[in-house]
Amino acid sequence: MTHDARRAYLWACALDVIVRKPGNVSFASAGHGMFAAQFVTSANVSADALFEPGVSVGTRIEGAIKATRAAVECNTNLGIVLLCAPLAAAFESERRPRLAELRTRLGATLARLDLDDTRATYRAIALANPGGLGAAAQQDVRDAPTMGLRAAMHLASNRDRVARQYGNDFAEIFDLGLPEVMHYAAEPGTAMLACYLAFLASAPDSHIVRKHGAALAHTVTEDARTLFDAWRTSDKVPPADAVAAWDERLKEAGLNPGTSADLAVASAFVAAMLDPRLSEVPLPGMAWNVLNSSPTLTRLSG
């Protein structure tokens, strides 16, 4: 099961940069001072810690972020790691769970999160140093925590959609993201774009809110909703040139809907854990061996 889960993770991370998602880094378009190769490396180097059998969620998170930071020296995957670590722990077993069982296991995993998990996760967040982090009135990541990780995440749930998943048993991953991925399972690129737009259209992106404010984040959400609604009405995937043009406009404005991307990656990860055949579907635009080979990038200068 560990091998299948690891492959599912790498597959989801590959989709993240193979598909051009407006505002995010991809092979088609670098942005925000980062490049797709850094994300590929991050996925590779973080996998050992995420899928180490029997270790705690906090240990998985801290190990994955330490490995990432040592390799690429920037924050490429904090949200992805925060979402995928509990899922990886919940998936660990001698047999593959069905959807309902995975959800039950995940709920139990989240309920067991303790103060040590919080300490390790806070160290990881501080090391990743995400943009727009700001300060919290309670349980700030720069302070010594006094509660379990689920409770600490709950305090941040009103301002961070990744943190919110810890309190709602990843409901948005299972009920919003996963159906989009499964609907387009035969076309992974389409599945990732649909999942990403579903999240971005449903609520302002936390990363944009933190860095640029709620008003600007709402305008991005409205644009996503317009594009997504048109897709649903016509049953036609948005034209590539329209997606590319919006991508360029967002990057010119410095707007990165990174939280929506993290949620989409986690949704794809769940889909491929539940059905390993998904990770065998040829990926669009880039050979699968982009994430089957050893990392080639360590650090980029400049």
For residue 134, the model assigns a pLDDT of 46
Residue 295 inside a domain? The answer is: no
Residue 299 inside a domain? The answer is: no
Boundaries of domain holding 260: 2-290
Confidence class for position 289, pLDDT limits 50, 70, 90: low
Q: What is the pLDDT of residues 184-230, one digit of tens each?
A: 999 999 999 999 999 999 999 999 999 999 999 999 999 999 999 99
Q: What percent of the chain has pLDDT over 90?
A: 80
How many other β-carbons are positioned within 10 Å of the β-carbon of residue 98?
A: 10
Residue 298 inside a domain? The answer is: no
Residue 160 pLDDT exceeds 90 = yes
For residue 39, the model assigns a pLDDT of 93
Residue 15 inside a domain? The answer is: yes
Residue 133 pLDDT exceeds 80 = no
Instruction: Compute the distance between CA of residue 84 and CA of residue 82 in angstroms, rounded to an integer.
Output: 6
Instruction: Compute the distance between CA of residue 236 and CA of residue 156 in angstroms, rounded to an integer.
Output: 37
Q: What is the pLDDT of residues 107-131, one digit of tens each?
A: 999 999 999 999 999 999 999 987 5
Q: 163: Cβ–Cβ under 8 A, 6 or more apart, which residues?
A: 82, 153, 154, 156, 157
For residue 93, the model assigns a pLDDT of 79
Q: What is the pLDDT of residues 75-94, one digit of tens each?
A: 999 999 999 999 999 999 76
Residue 302 pLDDT exceeds 50 = no
Output the domain CATH number for residue 276: 1.10.4200.10
Residue 33 inside a domain? The answer is: yes
Instruction: Compute the distance between CA of residue 244 and CA of residue 98 in angstroms, rounded to an integer.
Output: 37
Residue 301 inside a domain? The answer is: no
For residue 295, the model assigns a pLDDT of 45
* Angle, alpha carbons 270-276-280 (nearest 5°): 115
Residue 124 inside a domain? The answer is: yes
Q: 264: Cβ–Cβ under 8 A, 6 or more apart, which residues?
A: 16, 21, 177, 192, 195, 196, 199
Residue 291 pLDDT exceeds 70 = no
Residue 177 pLDDT exceeds 70 = yes
Most confident of 87-96, 97-106, 136-145: 97-106
For residue 284, the model assigns a pLDDT of 60
- Prediction pTM value: 0.92
Would you put residue 301 in left (φ > 0), alpha (ψ -120 to 50) or beta? Answer: beta
Residue 297 inside a domain? The answer is: no
Residue 237 pLDDT exceeds 60 = yes
For residue 292, the model assigns a pLDDT of 55
Instruction: Compute the distance between CA of residue 52 and CA of residue 67 in angstroms, rounded to an integer.
Output: 13
Average pLDDT score over the chain: 89
- The closest alpha carbon to 42, from 170, 131, 103, 128, belongs to 128
Count how many domains the chain has: 1
Instruction: Compute the distance between CA of residue 189 and CA of residue 20 in angstroms, rounded to an integer.
Output: 9
Mean pLDDT of the region 103-110:
97
Q: What is the pLDDT of residues 52-67, one digit of tens each?
A: 999 999 999 999 999 9
